[in-house]
Amino acid sequence: MDRASRIDAGDVEGNADDAEQRGFFGRFGARIGKGRNDSAPNLHTREALLLLQNYEESRQGWFWSTDAAGRLTYITDAVARLMGRSGGELLGTPFVDLFLPADSNGERQRTLPFLLTRQSKFDDLPLRAASAADGEERWWAVSGRPHFGGGGDFAGYRGSGTDITAQRRSAEDASRLALYDSLTGLANRFHISKKLDSTLAAFAQQQRSCAIMLLDLDRFKQVNDTLGHPAGDALLKQVAERLLKIVGDKEMVSRLGGDEFQIILPDQEDRGKLGDVAADIIASLSQPYSVEGSRCIIGASVGVAISPFDGVASDDLVRNADLALYAAKGGGRGRFRFYSSDLHQAAEDRRALEEDLRDALGRGQMELHYQPVVQAKSNMVTGVEALVRWNHPERGPISPSLFVPIAEEANLIWALGEWVLRKACEDAARWPGDMRVAVNVSPIQFANEDLPRVVASALATTGLEPDRLELEITESVFLGDSNETARMFKALKGLGVRLALDDFGTGYSSLGYLQSAPFDKIKIDQSFVRGATVRGSRNGAIIAAIVALAEALEMETTAEGIESLDQLDLIRKLHVSHVQGFVYSKPVPHGELLEHAEAGSWMIKPAGPAKQRTDRVSLFRKVAAIHDNHRYGVVMRNLSASGAFIEGLLEVPVGTRFVIDFGEGQLVTAVVRRSMKHQQGIEFEQSLVSDGNGGLCTRHRVSPYLIAAAAQNTPAMALPAFTTTSDWQAA
Ligand code: C2E
Ligand code: MG
Ligand code: MG
């Protein structure tokens, strides 16, 4: 019996491979030569042939066969048509020509020609069609078995194929998903880390530099929590768009997850340019967003690390950028920061401080000091602001500007805030007269719906009249959900306490807040007041406008941080109603306050310098000056971007050139422009740039590769260190 006749329908549908392996080829399709089926098939065979024909026509699979030379002797017509040919046209062409060579599609498989010449069988080999009638990419999984003639000679192949184009596409989509963040379309963490690995590995060989930036959104959580996740998602998309606009290269920007982003900047080591990019990013991301009809404002902090200076392996580089980011956030957010090796120590200190802070309250290390708030016209103290102090057993007093942010981050602010509130009310209840007490409320406390209950309880247990308590709030509370903010304002006002807007002039300073929120007072920040005394500043005019608006809305105004008499003068002229600052008094311990308060009315005569001292802290810094193969230790003062004074060398002629070594590969060439006996004014040939932390750094650093090379040849970096002035004279 013919072998074909043994095939039953189940075989055909279930396993086309089996079908062809048993040597079945029907009369459909094109076929060369005489087949066994030329003899009239019996009924059973006929049925099987029809089934096969149906199968081929259903396009679920196709069949092929070749002669010993690999030329097609059969191919299903339907598949030939997909290639823009007919089955007949293809007969005689080499089977391998139907497909693109393996290399061109990146398949890491044994190639088809290899398998065919080895006469091996193969299963489901993915092959890409060399041509397609519709021009689309088409893929097949092709199987084949060699067959042999009567004498056992190789006679060719028989096989089948199935269309796997759809599976390939969805697999590609899946791998795209595995590489890209589905929300923003940016590269995901996996993708960018692979990219960074390969970039750094390649660049290390070519001694090229590469910077990375880690970026974290400030206050994103607040938006997400209050406006909801869909709004948070919409916001992240806009952030991604703004980032792409600045960075340009889509492949180099990634969302690592949450509100964290990473950017790779190949061949960048100029800290001037990188600082500009970081500042651009921060400025762009800090512009208001419109999400789902609400307006919201967030900020961003950026940490920068540069290979090879700050790490060669990607793990090191990312860890150091992260440390820089952490420092940027700690430095007040909305900033960028370059990595430097001392950040490790700073991070360590902060962790230790956080640890100590957990026990500080329980151990009675917290204390309140009170700073008088004085009516500008009469010099009468009308109230005080409670300012928390931490007396650390080893480190001594620590400033709240340092530990309050740590407390906020470490979830300790609620307990600390409650303690401050209760203590301030308790103290104030003991004061004779009706002096007010102001208490600072962190935005985190403000966002807690328990706040009104705690305030009410503090008032009730101490018996303090509500209108003697003033809560100071910063405008960042307006960044959250406006409905909840309004509800909180209402609840607090309902208790009868007063509300003050603190630090006005440091943030977004929208006058709109003043109209919508029930403030009793605006506190103008010291930086804004100081700016007003600078010639040409418009701050004075702005303060006058704020005062006019405040008067119209029946609010008081307080100018903070007034130190000098000329500032006080200006403030009085601008009709600011109250003043708080060293010109009247520093914050004092409770005992001292009691003495004054108990003496009856408390009046202070302003006292202070006529003018504000310039704030320039004359910076001392030990650096090395390299000249003529000698390295001198010198002290640097009054560092500015363009120059400095150095001390430690005697009688250096004007025009002498030095290389100044600031450490960590930071070298600049400098020329002596002025020379006094042991002090020289030097000018840098290339200006220093901002380090993002109020300091300066060099644009470029000497690459570790160069240093390694130099140590072998001319060890300019390893010069002997002379530190005495006589060395210079000797040199
Ligand atoms: P703030 O609320 O703006 O407080 C005013 C700050 O300015 C105080 O710093 C005060 O000592 C300082 N200051 C006042 N007059 C002058 C002056 O003439 N010159 C200068 N240079 N400074 C002046 P302090 O006590 O270090 O507090 C810093 C910040 O820490 C406060 O700023 C406030 O935001 C926060 N803070 C203080 N106590 C608390 C608290 O109990 N809870 C919360 N959440 N934050 C607090
Ligand atoms: Mg305050
Ligand atoms: Mg303030």
What amino acid occupies position 135? G
- Radius of gyration, alpha carbons of the chain: 39
Coil, helix or strand at residue 609: coil
Calculate how far, in angstroms, residue 400's C-alpha sits from the geometric centre of ligand 1.
7
The residue nearest atom 16 of ligand 1, judged by CA position, is 561
User: What element of type H or E holds 239?
Assistant: helix 229-247
Tell me how far apart the alpha carbons of residues 716 and 706 are, in angstroms, rounded to a whole number. Answer: 11
CA of 670 to the centre of ligand 2 (A): 45
What's the whole-number mean pLDDT along residues 298-313? 94
- Cα–Cα distance list, 508 to 318, 477, 545 (Å): 32, 11, 16
Helix ranges, 463-520 (H): 482-494, 511-516
3-state secondary structure 539-553: HHHHHHHHHHHHHHC
The answer to whether residue 526 scores a pLDDT higher than 50 is yes
CB atoms within 10 A of CB 359: 9
Do the Cβ atoms of 104 and 111 come closer than 8 Å? no
CA distance 577 to 571: 9
Of 361, 387, 524, the one to substitute when testing ligand 1's pocket (max ligand atoms within 8 A of C-beta) is 387
Residues 643, 681 contacting (CB under 8 angstroms): yes
Q: From the CA of 471, how far away is ligand 2's center (Å)?
A: 9
Q: Which ligand sits closest to the CA of 397?
A: 1
pLDDT per residue as tens digits for the range 234-290: 999 999 999 999 998 888 999 998 999 999 999 999 999 999 999 999 999 999 899
Is the CB of 387 inside a 6 Å radius of any atom of ligand 1?
yes
**CA of 523, closest atom in ligand 1:** 3
388 C-beta closer than 6 A to ligand 1: yes
- How close is the Cα of 385 to the center of ligand 1, in Å? 9
Quote the longest CA-to-CA distance of the chain: 129
Decide: 440 in ligand 1 pocket, CB within 6 A.
yes
Mean per-residue pLDDT over the chain, rounded: 85
Residue 679, Cβ neighbours under 10 Å: how many? 17
Q: Which H or E element spans position 321?
A: helix 314-330
Confidence tier at 296 by pLDDT (50, 70, 90): confident
Give the HSE-up count for residue 238: Cα atoms under 13 Å, Cβ half-sphere: 21
Amino acid at 607: A
Output the CA 385–ligand 2 centroid distance in Å: 7
Q: Which atom of ligand 1 is nearest to the CA of 562?
A: 18
* pLDDT at residue 540 is higher than 90: no
- What pTM does this model have? 0.64
Is there an atom of ligand 1 within 6 Å of 372 CB? no
Q: Give the atom of ligand 1 at the shortest distance from the alpha carbon of 441.
A: 44
Q: Whose CA is nearest to atom 13 of ligand 1?
A: 561
Task: Kindly report the number of other CB atoms within 10 A of residue 423's CB atom.
Answer: 19
Whole-number pLDDT of residue 717: 47
- H-run or E-run covering 674: strand 666-675
- Burial class (CB within 10 angstroms; exposed 0-12, middle 13-18, buried 19+) of 388: buried
Q: Is 401 in the pocket of ligand 1 (CB under 6 A)?
A: yes
At residue 225 the predicted structure's pLDDT band, cuts being 50, 70 and 90, is confident
Ligand 3 centre and the CA of 563: distance in Å? 14
Give the number of the ligand closest to the Cα of residue 412.
1
Residue pLDDT, tens place only, 397-420: 999 988 998 898 889 999 999 999
3-state SS class at 283 = helix
Q: Which atom of ligand 1 is nearest to the CA of 407?
A: 44
Query: Which ligand sits closest to the CA of 582?
Result: 1
**Domains, the chain, with CATH or none:** 2-170 (3.30.450.20), 180-341 (3.30.70.270), 365-598 (3.20.20.450), 617-730 (2.40.10)
Please enumerate in sequence order all residues whose Cβ is within 8 A of that of 255, keeping only pairs 6 or more positions apart, or say none: 181, 183, 184, 186, 187, 188, 189, 236, 240, 261
Ligand 1 pocket, residue 587 CB under 6 Å = yes
pLDDT in tens, 49-91: 888 888 888 777 899 999 999 999 999 988 888 888 888 889 9
373 ligand 1 Cβ < 6 A: no
Share of the chain above pLDDT 90, in %: 54
Q: Which residues pair with 697 in a beta bridge?
A: 689
Between 581 and 294, the higher pLDDT residue:
581
266 near 208, Cβ under 8 Å? yes
Residues 6+ apart with CB under 8 A from 38: none
Interval 237-249: pLDDT, tens: 999 999 999 998 8
Percent of the chain topping pLDDT 70: 88
Can you tell me the mean pLDDT for 439-443? 95
CA 27 to chain centre: 67
- Per-residue pLDDT band for 510 (boundaries 50, 70, 90) equals low
Task: Please tell me the residue having the least CA distance from ligand 1 atom 12.
Answer: 561
Ligand 1 pocket, 582 CB below 6 A?
Answer: yes
Using H for helix, E for strand and C for coil, what is the string for 86-146?
Answer: CHHHHCCCEHHHHECCHHHHCCCCCCHHHHHHHCCCEEEEEEEECCCCCCCCCEEEEEEEE
What totals of helices (H) and strands (E) does the chain contain, helices first? 25, 32
- For ligand 2, the distance from its centroid to the CA atom of residue 367, given in whole angstroms, is 16
Residue that wins the pLDDT comparison between 48 and 451 = 451
Determine which residue's CA is closest to atom 6 belonging to ligand 1. 561
User: In testing the pocket of ligand 1, which one of 365, 384, 404 has its CB within 8 Å of the most ligand atoms?
Assistant: 404
Atom of ligand 1 nearest to the CA of 580: 15
For residue 427, report the distance from its CA to the centre of ligand 3, in Å.
21
Are 269 and 211 in contact by the 8 Å Cβ rule? The answer is: yes
Q: For residue 670, what pLDDT is reported?
A: 94
pLDDT digits (tens, 9 = 90+) for 180-196: 998 999 999 999 999 99
Distance of CA 670 to the CA centre of its chain: 36
What's the pLDDT at 576?
A: 96
CB of 371 within 6 A of ligand 1: the answer is yes
First-residue to last-residue Cα distance in the chain: 109
Residue 535 Cα to ligand 3 middle (Å): 24
Cβ(404) to ligand 1 under 6 A?
yes
pLDDT given for residue 724 in this prediction: 40
pLDDT above 60 for 594 = yes
From CA 110, how far away is CA 102, in angstroms rounded? Answer: 8
